[in-house]
Structure 1
Amino acid sequence: MKKRIKVLAVSKTEGKLLLETEHVHDAGNLAAKGQMLVDSDQFSFIYILDNGEDFFYIDLSSDIWPHLKEAKNEELPVYAKVGEKEILLTQFHEELEFLLENIKGNANYGEEMEKMVESVFY
């Protein structure tokens, strides 16, 4: 079972980008998977968390992409605050860069997704 987690607020604090998410039951067991996906239907990047039994998807919707670009440019570590736990999203910049390079000039993700990515990140 996969649960999608919404980001409710974004802040740059203490040399990191912090993504504050909606409440997730049993967040204490969640760990970063170091992998990202693309949801071109929802115009989102997805960062995967794992609790040993299920995957949880942090939904990085297009409205927060400018913050992701800033963190990428400044090489800030990205954390998700899920409940009271802050989770370092390992491999975040590498995964994001890989996805951006794959989407750039690639209509396989849909023209709208391609245009949105290019308008924010390039």
Structure 2
Amino acid sequence: MKKLEVEKIIVEKDQYTAIMQEEIDKELAKTLQAGGRMLVDSDGLAFVYILEDESSFYYVAFSQATWPQLHEVLSQSASLTLRLNNDITIELVSIVEELSFLTENIEGNSNYGEEMEKAVQEFFN
């Protein structure tokens, strides 16, 4: 399992693209697939999208700095792609459904921790 950090989300021609702090090797990038599911990192105050290849999982972390754009993606039911490197992007399938489920589930749910619950309510309500 490798954790990848999203630095920012940009909008170009009505297309949202997540830019990571570091690029993925081109050969590895060719093997990655969208997992179609998300988790919550309550300690790191982040949403985590899962990528996978034949043998591993890769966690793509969306920290609070990216939440305003994630909120736009959610409210517009827009697609979001992830730039793996200069040549390869991947669509993060089911991100709207997953993010919607998580934000609704976190609201009023202390299992995610008070800090995470408060942060999600601030950005997504």
Question: 2-side partners of 1:8 and 1:101: how far apart?
Answer: 25
What is the aligned partner in structure 1 of residue 13 from structure 2? 14
Question: 2-side partners of 1:7 and 1:79: how far apart?
Answer: 12
- In the alignment, structure 2 segments of 5+ residues that lack a partner are none
TM-score (ref. length: structure 2): 0.93
> Helix, strand or coil: the match of 1:23?
coil
What is the aligned partner in structure 2 of residue 106 from structure 1? 109
What is the aligned partner in structure 1 of residue 99 from structure 2? 96
| Post-superposition offset of 1:89 | 0.4
Structure 1, 23-32 or 49-58: larger mean CA deviation: 23-32
| Post-superposition offset of 1:100 | 0.6
| Post-superposition offset of 1:85 | 1.1
Number of residue pairs aligned between Structure 1 and Structure 2:
121
| Post-superposition offset of 1:8 | 2.2
Structure 1, 49-58 or 9-18: larger mean CA deviation: 9-18
| Post-superposition offset of 1:57 | 0.7
> Helix, strand or coil: the match of 1:46?
strand
Indicate yes or no: 2:24 matched with 1:24: yes
- In the alignment, structure 1 segments of 5+ residues that lack a partner are none
TM-score (ref. length: structure 1): 0.95
**RMSD (Å), alpha carbons:** 0.9
Question: 1-side partners of 2:74 and 2:102: how far apart?
Answer: 13
| Post-superposition offset of 1:31 | 0.7
Overall identity of the aligned pairs, in %? 38
> Helix, strand or coil: the match of 2:108?
coil
> Helix, strand or coil: the match of 1:105?
coil
